C-alpha cells in the first residue's frame, strides 16, 4: 500500500499551482487536506504524475461575512467551520452538520475545497453546497469562473472541473428561514451517511411559504429536491404533514443497494429522517412565527 | 516436573501484589512511543519484501514471468514457488483426527491459487516502494477454475475441488454422540430449533502482521522478530522446515500490538522471509498493510449450525443435536489445523448445562477464502450463541423466565466435576453464582418491570442473558486442538538473581497485550518475597527457555503463573539456605519479604543483593558447597487445566425508525478464580465485550459468490468504536481453581458471552413482532428486513 511514483510541488500562489497543473497535461492532482486523496494514492487507484500541494499558498483559508453571503476560502479546514461563531450565526444548518463530518483528526486536516472537489455522494459539504445554492469559484488558465453547486457535482466522485482548475472560494447565501433541521444516520458517528436531510422552512402561523430540501446518501450525488419543496409548500399545515412529507421525499429518490445498506433501507431511513426534520423545523418556526 | 496441589489462601503467606490493581509496567513505554514492535527493528541495511497476491479466487497458474520485475530499480530478487522449492520442507498441520486432510503450508502458491489474496511471488528490494513498483511488472497467466465461495455448495457431489489430492472439499468431519437423541427428542415436551449463523469476521489487531528476519553472516544464523503470539511454535516449525537448529534460529516476539488469534498460527510470509534472508544473506523486513492483514490473516467463525434442543415440561433441557458446517477457507493452519474452530463449536455446544443426550456433527469445508483460525473464544462464541438462543427459545415456548430456565439447567456446585454430553469435564466453578451475581448487578427484576413499562409505550426494549463455560489453562491431558501432536500443556519459568542482585524472570509465554509482564511480576514478588519493581520479566524469546508454545487459549496466567510460583519457591529455598549461613539462623526462622531475608522477630536481615554478593563475588563468606547459583527453572503442567465461566446480561433498545440497537446496560459476572490484577481482569472483560459487540452488531467480512472480498477496508469492515461500547458492570466471583495459585484463564470470555447476550436481548426486544434472531451480526439492515417481513406476515394473516 505505497503510492506509485509522483512528483511534488508546493507553489506559493494559485497562479503557480495552475501553471503546474497545465504543465502536467491533465496528469496532475491537487493536494489540499489529503484525507481522501492519500488513501486513493496508497491503493494506487489514483496515479497522478505530480501532486500540487496548495497548503503553502497564503490567503486561501478564511470565513468572511459579505452581508447576504458568507464566503469561505477553499483551504478552510472543517474544524474552522465547525467552530466558527459566524457560521453558527449565519449558516446554522452548516454549523449543525459539521460535527457529522468524519472524525476530529480528519476535520483538522480536511478542507472545504477538497471535500467539494472529491464529490463524495455521502459527504456533508457537497450536500450543504446544494442545500444553500452555493456558488463555487474556480480558477484555471483562462481565469476565474463561478459554478453553481447544482452544476458542479456530475456523478459519484466526479465534478465538472477541468483538470487544470482549482476551487478557490465557496460562497453560501444566508437563508431567510423560520425553522430548519439537519438529520443524519450513519453506522457510527462520523461514518459516511446512510441517509441525511437538510431542511429549512418559511412559514406563517397557518401555512408554509417556502421550503428548501437537500438529501444525501441516496443517489450518486447529493440532491436538491425542488419538486418536493413545491409539493410540501402546497400541503396544509396540519398534524399529518410530517408523515405526508416523508412520503413525498421517499418518492423522489431511488437509492441503489450497496454493501452498507439496501436501497429500500436507505429510503426507509430517509423517510424517518424527513419526518423528524420537518417536525423540528416546524417547532422552531412556531416559536419564531 | 509437576506437583499440583489444591490452592488455598494460605498458599501465599501475605500476598501484597497478587490481587492488587497494580499499574501495568508495560504502559509507560507503550504509551509514550518507546515500545519496540517488530517494524521498529532496524537491522543493518535491511531489504524490504512485497508480495504479489492473487486477484483470482481459484485458478491454475500457467506462467509467471518475472524478467521485467527482476530488472526494475532497487530489486534484489524475485521469488516464486519454483525458485525456492529446494530451500524448505512444507510444513504439515498434522493431526491424529480421523477424516482429516492436512493441506501443506507453502510460502508461495504453487501450481494454483485458492483464494484472493494468496501470495504468488515475492519481491525483495531496497525499499518497500520500489518493491511494490516492481510487483506491477510481474506477469502471471491464469487458467480460471470455478470458484468455491459457499461452504454449503462445496459439499455437493459435483462441486469443483479445491484440493484435488484430498478428493473432497470436506477437510475435516467429526461427530460427538451421547445417549439416544432420537428417543429423547420424541419424548420432549417442547422442541425448539433453527438454522443459526455467525458470519466471517476479521480479528483485526491494531498492529498488522509484521516480520523482520535479521541475518547474521558470521554464523549463518537468523533471528526472526515476529508479531506472533506463538514464537516458540514458530521457532520449532521453521527450524524443521529450513533444517536450521535452534541455536542458529532465534524467534523473538517483541512488543506485539494485539492478535486476537490472528497472529497465533504459522504464516506463509513468515516462512518466506526466513527463506529469503538466508538465501540472500541479508536482513529483510515486511509489515502487512491493512488490506493484506484483512485479506490474508486467519479469519473467524463462518459457521452455519442447524440445531435443535428438547425440553421436558419443567424446562429441563434433555437433549440437543446439531449439524455444523464450518467454512474453513482454503487451507488448514499450523499447528491448530482447520478443525480448531468448527470442532470446538460442537464440543462446547452443550455449554454449562446438564443436557443428557447429544449428537453434534461437524464438517470443515474448504472454500476460496483465507483460512479461518483461532479467534478470541475459539468455537465458543458460536456454540454459546446457538445454545443460549435455544435456551431462550425453550423458555419462551414453556413460558418460563430466561433467568429461571438457566438456573434449572446449569451444573450446580455439588455436581462438579461434571462431564457434559460432549465429553468435556467442568471442574468446580461458580456457574450458578455467576448467574445470580449478574442478575443482581443488573437489577434483573426491576429491569423486567422497566421493560414491561417501556413496552406499554411501544418501545422495543429487550433483555438478554448468556451463560457459558470454557476450558482455560489446559494441561497436557487435553490437546488445545484435536489430535494435535505438539505439547501445549506446559510452560517454563526461569528466575535468576545475578551478581548485582537483580532479578530476571524469563518465560516462553508471549504477551501481546495481556499485561503478563505485570501479572507474572506480581506473582513472583509475592512468592519469592521480592519487591515488584526489582523484577524484570522477559518473555516471547525462544533463546530464553528451551521450549515454549506461547500465549493463546487463556493459558498464560495459569501455566506461566504456575511455573512462576514453583520456580519462585525453589529460588526462595536457595535464598533461605544462603541467608541461614549469613545470619547464622535456621531456615525455618527466616522470613523472605521485600527483597530481604530477615530473622523472624529480630532486626537482623540481609538483602538479596548481599546474598548475591556472598554467593557470586565473595570467596570467603560461604563454604564452596553453599554457593548455589541463584537460579531456578520450573516447567509447569496443570494436567487438566481449569474451567472459567460467566453470565452476561444485556439490556438493549431498538429504534424502530433507524433499526439501530442501543445497549443500555451490560453486566458481566465472571469467575476467573483468584484474581492476580483486578485492573487487568476488568480491562480484558471490557475489551472482550467490545469485540463481542462487534460480532453481535457490526463486523462482517463479505465475500461475493465469486470469492471476492467486498469489505476489505476499515470503511467497509465496520468495527465498534468508543461510542458504540457502553459502560459495563463487571462482577468478580472469585472461586479458586484447583491449579497452582487458584487462577483461571480469562482473556477470551468477553467475546464468548457478549454476542449471545446481545442476540437474546435483540430477540427479546423484537418479540412483539415474533421475530427470532438466528444470524449475527444483527446489522440495522438485517433488523429492518426482519421487521418488514414480520409486518408483511402479520398483514397477510389479517
Residue B8 has pLDDT above 70, yes or no: no
Joined grid coordinates for residue B682: 476488568
CATH architecture of the domain covering A179-288 = 2-Layer Sandwich (3.30)
Q: Do B781 and A261 touch (CB under 8 A)?
A: yes
Say whether residue B619 is in contact with chain A using an 8 A CB cutoff: no
Run of H or E including B462: strand B460-472
Residue B478 confidence class, pLDDT cut points 50, 70, 90: confident
Q: Do B129 and A269 touch (CB under 8 A)?
A: no
For B325-389, the DSSP string reads EEEEESS--BTT-TTHHHHHHHHHTTTTB---EEEEEEEEEE-SSPPB---TTTTHHHHHHHHHH
Yes or no: say if B64 and B301 are a contact pair by the CB < 8 Å rule. no
Q: Where in chain A is the domain with CATH 3.30.43.10?
A: 7-56
* Residue position matching grid coordinates 461452504: B151
CA-CA distance, B401 to B393, in Å (whole number)? 11
pLDDT in the model for residue B479:
78
Residues in B 97-136 with any Cβ partner in A closer than 8 A: 128-129, 132-133
Say whether residue B702 is in contact with chain A using an 8 A CB cutoff: yes
Yes or no: say if A167 and A117 are a contact pair by the CB < 8 Å rule. yes
Say whether residue B392 is in contact with chain A using an 8 A CB cutoff: no
CA-CA distance, B697 to B725, in Å (whole number)? 11
CA-CA distance, A287 to A178, in Å (whole number)? 9
User: What angle, 0 to 180 degrees and rounded to 10, lies between the N-to-C axes of helices B516-524 and B556-583?
Assistant: 40
CATH architecture of the domain covering B300-476+639-797 = 2-Layer Sandwich (3.30)
pLDDT in the model for residue A286:
73
Residue B2 confidence class, pLDDT cut points 50, 70, 90: very low
Q: What percent of chain A has pLDDT over 70?
A: 99
CA-CA distance, B634 to B536, in Å (whole number)? 17
pLDDT in the model for residue B734:
85
Q: What is the mean pLDDT of residues B694-708?
A: 97
Say whether residue B290 is in contact with chain A using an 8 A CB cutoff: yes
Say whether residue B53 is in contact with chain A using an 8 A CB cutoff: no
Q: Where in chain A is the domain with CATH 3.30.390.50?
A: 179-288
Domain over A7-56 is classified CATH 3.30.43.10: yes
Q: Do B716 and A185 touch (CB under 8 A)?
A: no
CA-CA distance, B373 to B380, in Å (whole number)? 13
A86: number of Cβ within 10 Å: 14
Domain A63-172 - what CATH class?
alpha beta
Joined grid coordinates for residue B251: 524467534
Q: Do B715 and A192 touch (CB under 8 A)?
A: yes
Taking CA–CA distances from B710, the nearest residue in chain A reads A259
Enumerate chain A positions whose Cβ falls within 8 A of a Cβ in B.
1-5, 42-43, 185, 187-192, 194, 259-262, 264-265, 268-269, 272, 276
Taking CA–CA distances from A269, the nearest residue in chain B reads B658
Taking CA–CA distances from B50, the nearest residue in chain A reads A1
Of the CA atoms within 13 Å of residue B226, those in its CB half-sphere come to 35
Residue B1 has pLDDT above 90, yes or no: no
Task: Classify domain B38-145+208-256+263-296 at the CATH topology level.
Answer: Aldehyde Oxidoreductase; domain 3 (3.90.1170)
Taking CA–CA distances from B724, the nearest residue in chain A reads A188
**Which of A183, A243, A269, A279 has the highest number of chain B CBs within 10 A, making it the mutation to test binding with B?**
A269
**ipTM reported for the complex, 2 dp:** 0.95
Residue B517 has pLDDT above 90, yes or no: yes
Nearest to A73 by CA among A20, A136, A13: A136
Q: Which residues contact A115 (CB under 8 A, 6 or more apart)?
A: A33, A36, A78, A101, A123, A124, A125, A126
Nearest to B430 by CA among B642, B581, B620: B642
Residues in B 641-700 with any Cβ partner in A closer than 8 A: 657-660, 698
Condensed to tens digits (0 to 9), the pLDDT of residues B175-225 reads 999 999 999 999 999 999 999 999 999 999 999 999 999 999 999 999 999
Q: Which residues of chain A have pLDDT under 70?
A: 287-289
pLDDT in the model for residue B14:
53
Q: Where in chain B is the domain with CATH 3.30.365.10?
A: 9-35+490-636, 300-476+639-797
**Which of A265, A272, A276 has the highest number of chain B CBs within 10 A, making it the mutation to test binding with B?**
A265
Domain over B9-35+490-636 is classified CATH 3.30.365.10: yes
Amino acid at each position: 500500500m505505497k503510492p506509485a511514483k509522483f512528483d511534488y510541488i508546493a507553489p506559493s500562489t494559485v497562479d503557480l499551482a495552475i501553471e503546474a497543473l497545465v504543465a502536467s497535461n491533465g496528469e496532475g492532482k491537487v493536494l489540499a487536506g489529503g484525507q481522501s486523496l492519500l488513501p486513493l494514492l496508497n491503493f494506487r487507484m489514483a496515479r497522478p504524475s505530480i501532486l500540487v500541494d496548495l497548503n503553502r499558498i497564503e490567503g486561501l483559508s478564511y470565513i468572511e461575512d459579505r452581508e447576504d453571503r458568507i464566503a469561505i476560502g477553499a483551504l478552510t479546514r472543517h474544524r474552522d467551520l465547525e467552530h466558527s461563531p459566524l457560521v453558527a450565526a449565519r449558516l446554522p444548518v452548516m454549523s449543525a452538520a459539521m460535527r457529522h463530518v468524519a472524525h476530529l483528526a480528519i476535520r483538522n486536516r480536511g478542507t472545504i475545497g477538497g471535500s467539494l472537489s472529491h464529490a463524495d455522494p455521502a459527504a456533508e459539504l457537497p450536500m450543504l453546497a446544494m442545500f444553500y445554492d452555493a456558488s463555487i469559484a474556480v480558477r484555471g488558465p483562462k481565469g476565474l469562473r463561478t459554478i453553481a453547486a447544482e452544476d458542479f457535482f456530475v456523478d459519484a466522485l466526479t465534478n465538472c472541473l477541468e483538470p487544470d482548475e482549482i476551487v478557490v472560494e465557496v460562497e453560501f447565501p444566508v437563508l431567510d428561514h423560520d425553522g430548519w433541521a439537519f438529520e443524519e444516520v450513519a453506522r457510527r458517528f462520523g461514518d459516511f451517511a446512510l441517509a441525511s436531510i437538510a431542511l429549512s422552512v418559511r412559514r406563517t402561523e397557518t401555512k408554509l411559504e417556502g421550503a428548501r430540501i437537500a438529501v444525501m446518501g441516496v443517489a450518486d450525488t447529493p440532491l436538491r429536491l425542488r419538486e418536493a419543496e413545491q409539493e410540501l409548500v402546497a400541503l396544509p399545515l396540519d398534524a399529518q404533514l410530517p408523515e405526508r412529507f416523508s412520503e413525498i421525499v421517499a418518492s423522489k429518490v431511488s437509492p441503489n443497494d450497496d454493501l452498507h445498506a439496501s436501497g429500500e433501507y436507505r429510503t426507509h431511513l430517509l423517510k424517518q429522517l424527513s419526518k423528524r426534520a420537518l417536525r423540528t423545523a416546524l417547532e422552531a418556526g412556531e416559536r419564531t412565527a | 516436573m509437576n506437583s499440583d496441589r489444591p490452592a488455598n489462601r494460605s498458599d501465599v503467606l501475605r500476598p501484597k501484589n497478587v490481587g492488587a490493581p497494580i499499574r501495568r509496567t508495560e504502559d509507560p513505554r507503550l504509551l509514550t512511543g518507546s515500545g519496540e514492535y517488530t517494524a521498529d527493528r532496524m537491522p543493518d541495511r535491511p531489504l524490504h519484501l512485497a508480495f504479489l497476491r492473487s486477484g483470482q479466487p481459484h485458478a491454475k497458474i500457467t506462467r509467471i514471468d518475472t524478467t521485467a520485475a527482476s530488472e526494475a530499480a532497487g530489486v534484489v530478487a524475485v521469488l516464486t514457488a519454483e525458485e525456492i522449492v529446494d530451500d524448505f520442507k512444507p510444513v504439515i498441520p498434522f493431526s491424529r483426527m480421523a477424516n482429516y486432510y492436512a493441506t501443506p503450508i507453502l510460502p508461495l502458491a504453487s501450481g494454483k491459487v485458492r483464494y484472493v489474496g494468496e501470495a504468488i511471488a515475492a519481491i525483495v528490494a531496497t525499499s518497500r516502494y520500489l518493491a511494490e513498483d516492481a510487483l506491477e511488472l510481474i506477469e502471471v497467466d491464469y487458467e480460471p477454475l470455478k470458484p468455491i465461495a459457499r461452504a454449503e455448495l462445496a459439499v455437493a457431489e459435483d462441486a469443483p475441488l479445491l484440493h484435488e489430492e484430498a478428493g473432497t472439499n470436506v477437510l475435516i468431519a467429526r461427530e460427538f454422540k451421547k445417549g439416544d437423541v432420537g428417543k429423547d427428542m420424541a419424548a420432549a415436551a417442547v422442541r425448539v430449533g433453527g438454522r443459526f449463523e455467525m458470519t466471517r469476521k476479521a480479528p483485526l489487531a491494531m498492529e498488522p502482521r509484521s516480520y523482520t528476519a535479521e541475518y547474521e553472516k558470521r554464523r549463518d544464523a537468523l533471528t526472526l522478530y515476529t508479531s506472533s503470539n506463538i514464537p516458540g511454535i514458530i521457532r520449532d516449525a521453521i527450524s524443521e522446515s529450513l533444517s536450521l537448529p535452534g541455536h542458529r534460529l532465534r524467534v523473538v516476539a517483541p512488543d506485539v500490538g494485539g492478535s486476537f488469534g490472528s497472529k497465533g498460527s504459522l504464516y506463509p510470509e513468515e516462512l518466506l522471509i526466513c527463506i529469503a534472508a538466508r538465501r540472500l544473506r541479508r536482513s529483510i523486513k515486511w509489515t502487512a498493510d491493512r488490506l493484506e492483514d484483512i485479506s490474508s490473516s486467519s479469519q473467524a467463525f463462518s459457521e452455519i449450525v442447524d440445531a435443535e434442543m428438547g425440553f421436558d415440561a419443567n424446562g429441563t433441557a434433555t437433549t440437543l443435536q446439531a449439524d455444523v458446517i464450518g467454512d474453513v477457507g482454503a487451507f488448514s493452519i499450523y499447528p491448530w489445523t482447520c478443525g480448531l474452530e468448527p470442532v470446538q463449536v460442537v464440543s462446547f455446544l452443550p455449554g454449562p448445562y446438564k443436557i443428557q443426550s447429544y449428537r453434534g456433527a461437524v464438517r470443515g469445508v474448504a472454500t476460496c477464502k483465507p483460512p479461518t483460525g483461532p479467534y478470541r473464544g475459539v468455537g465458543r462464541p458460536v456454540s454459546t450463541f446457538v445454545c443460549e438462543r435455544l435456551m431462550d427459545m425453550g423458555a419462551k415456548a414453556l413460558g418460563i423466565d430466561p433467568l429461571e430456565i438457566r438456573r434449572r439447567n446449569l451444573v450446580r456446585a455439588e455436581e462438579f466435576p461434571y462431564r457434559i454430553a460432549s465429553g468435556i469435564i467442568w471442574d468446580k466453578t461458580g456457574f450458578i453464582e455467576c448467574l445470580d451475581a449478574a442478575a443482581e448487578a443488573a437489577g434483573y427484576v426491576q429491569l423486567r418491570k422497566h421493560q414491561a413499562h417501556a413496552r406499554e409505550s411501544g418501545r422495543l426494549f429487550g433483555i438478554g442473558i448468556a451463560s457459558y463455560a470454557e476450558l482455560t489453562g489446559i494441561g497436557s491431558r487435553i490437546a488445545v486442538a484435536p489430535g494435535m501432536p505438539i505439547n501445549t500443556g506446559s510452560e517454563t519459568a526461569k528466575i535468576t538473581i545475578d551478581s548485582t542482585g537483580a532479578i530476571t524472570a524469563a518465560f516462553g509465554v508471549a504477551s501481546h497485550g495481556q499485561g503478563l509482564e505485570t501479572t507474572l511480576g506480581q506473582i513472583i514478588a509475592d512468592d519469592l518475597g521480592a519487591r515488584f519493581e526489582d523484577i524484570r520479566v522477559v518473555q516471547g524469546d525462544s533463546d530464553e527457555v528451551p521450549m515454549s508454545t506461547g500465549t493463546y487459549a487463556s493459558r498464560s496466567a495459569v501455566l506461566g503463573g504456575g511455573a512462576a510460583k514453583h520456580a519462585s519457591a525453589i529460588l526462595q529455598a536457595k535464598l533461605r539456605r544462603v541467608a541461614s549461613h549469613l545470619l547464622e539462623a535456621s531456615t525455618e526462622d527466616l522470613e523472605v519479604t521485600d527483597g530481604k531475608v530477615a530473622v523472624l522477630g529480630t532486626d537482623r536481615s540481609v538483602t538479596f543483593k548481599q546474598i548475591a554478593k556472598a554467593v557470586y563475588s565473595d570467596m570467603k563468606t560461604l563454604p564452596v558447597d553453599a554457593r548455589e547459583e541463584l537460579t531456578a527453572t520450573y516447567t509447569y503442567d496443570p494436567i487438566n487445566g481449569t474451567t472459567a465461566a460467566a453470565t452476561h446480561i444485556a439490556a438493549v433498545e431498538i429504534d424502530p425508525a433507524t433499526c439501530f440497537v442501543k445497549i443500555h446496560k451490560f453486566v458481566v459476572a465472571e469467575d476467573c478464580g483468584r484474581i492476580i490484577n483486578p485492573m487487568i481482569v476488568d480491562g480484558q472483560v471490557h475489551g472482550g465485550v467490545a469485540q463481542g459487540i462487534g460480532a453481535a452488531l457490526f463486523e462482517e467480512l463479505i465475500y461475493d459468490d465469486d470469492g471476492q472480498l467486498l469489505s476489505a477496508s476499515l470503511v467497509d469492515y465496520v468495527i465498534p468504536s468508543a461510542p458504540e461500547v457502553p459502560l459495563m458492570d463487571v462482577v468478580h466471583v472469585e472461586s479458586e481453581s484447583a491449579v497452582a495459585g487458584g487462577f483461571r484463564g480469562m482473556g477470551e470470555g468477553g467475546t464468548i458471552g457478549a454476542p449471545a447476550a446481545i442476540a437474546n436481548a435483540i430477540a427479546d426486544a423484537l418479540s412483539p413482532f415474533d421475530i427470532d434472531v438466528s444470524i449475527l451480526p444483527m446489522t440495522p439492515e438485517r433488523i429492518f428486513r426482519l421487521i418488514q417481513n414480520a409486518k408483511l406476515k402479520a398483514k397477510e394473516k389479517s
